[in-house]
Structure 1
Amino acid sequence: MKPAAFDYHAPTGLTEAVSLLAELGDDAKVIAGGQSLMPLLALRLAFVEHLVDLHRVEEMRGIDRRADSVWIGAGTTQATIERSADIAEAVPLLARATPLIGYFQVRNRGTIGGSLAHADAAAEYPAVALTLDAEVEAASPSGRRTIPAAEFFTGVWSTDLAEDEILTGVTFPLWRGRSGFAVEEFASRHRDFAFAGATVAVELDGDDRVRRCAIGLLGLGPTALRARAEEAELTGRHVTEITAEDVGQAAVSGLDSVPSDHNVPAEYRKRVGAAVVARAWHRAIQEASDA
């Protein structure tokens, strides 16, 4: 099938894009890489009167490494992030999650902003942003604002973005010291969306105690999730007192909105979720211990 007819707009600057979106109102939809929206339009599962394409807005692309953080423009492609030495060094969790996104053709077009705005619960970037306490930047006719990742994802394919806002960038704070990171996920086929996945970041002190940790969950709820209760339980404990299997079980034990369908029942997702959390925790602890 082909999309229903729509008017196409390609602004060359952020101010023009924001103005267009405000002018066109509810009849307009923003497109970045198009890897999520175009299939929906082609299958006529979604309809728009106006499509505002952001790929020419240069100020929404690029990677800026700062003293304590890394800023990434929303229009930066996943392939650019995958190839970035700065990202690999400064935000290892993001670097390791990126190759798991579809195939290289998808990553050549897909953008970090598009992935975050689409807010798929099984996608890697929302889980990474949540795990690392990233901050999302948005622009509208009334100005700019910053939204913590913990407040950005509000439900199934929904975010805190207002109708007249455009996601312009995302900032990832740096983890220093003895830190380790890991991403694990399980899917029926390589490169498919995962039934369940985990993103883990751990920092150890000089005595091998957990100074801080973050456990992200993907595919296990209506949005990406954090296992905050288990993180609090683990903080301050010595690594020898912790087993990866216990971490995995505890991380998923309190989940009550796990998706279920005829192929993947909720209980199976939870069992897989516990396993991938355990694997990710083990790998992250190993890396932090060796740092």
Structure 2
Amino acid sequence: MLEKLKEWLLRDYNVPKSEGVQFITILILTILTGLLAIGEFIVDLKATTLPLILSLFGANITLLILAKRYSRIQLIGNAQLLVLYLMFQFTFFLLPNVFHAIIYWMPSIPLLALIFGNLRTSHIWLVVILVTLAFNALYGSSVMGDSYIADIPYLPYAVAASIFTITLVACFSILYNLLGKSYSRLMSKNREVVKLIRQLKEMNESLEESVRDRTKDIEERNEKLKRYAFMNSHMVRAPLANILGAVKHLDDNHDERKTKELMDIVKISANSLDDVIKEIGESLAEKA
């Protein structure tokens, strides 16, 4: 059980992150904290204090400027989540009766962690948030008692609920955008792979055809060599042997009639040899 829990907590996938989406996330969080500050200034939201929300807004402005000037957007985004978490906790310790508000705002942190970090980071933040909520429940119970009445006027409730709704929709929209970009890149890579596979198949077919042609050419050349070897061992050797035999008898013979017969044999054998050599030449020259 413990091993499965550990595996779930530390599991991760290599999902490509878009720095553009991460920067937009930091920008939207900064705008939302600004809306909270305006809402707190205009009406008492009963869920935080103006100094705390202004501190959060100032920290987000600073992180936004850093994200604009430097390239470590992912690190800055995670720092923004930490600042948001600390603001929630400071608010709770200063105003323990806002526990109901903290419950609904804190789940946004693991969701945003998927954009700034990865699945492992989101799981870790989820565990941190659950432990924090359990601790806050015990602490609030010891400070406020078993229960308390939340005095929330309609207007602050409507403003806070509207900002929370915008925040939640923005989080899911940004996450959807991030996944959409990742999916688009994946599909683009998939199309490239399909194209490469098709090109490889065409090259393979061309190579097979070239191998077949080359094999056929080699077989034809081998056949020619066999024919040449046959001609050389049979058709060439016979007239050549006749010529050599006649020449040998010419050296030992002084009879004019016999000499003429031997010369006729040499002539006939030479012509036959010439015909064979021409035939071999023509045979080797075929389809060369």
Structure label with greater radius of gyration: 2
TM-score, length basis structure 2? 0.20
| Larger helix share, 1 or 2 | 2
TM-score (norm 1): 0.20
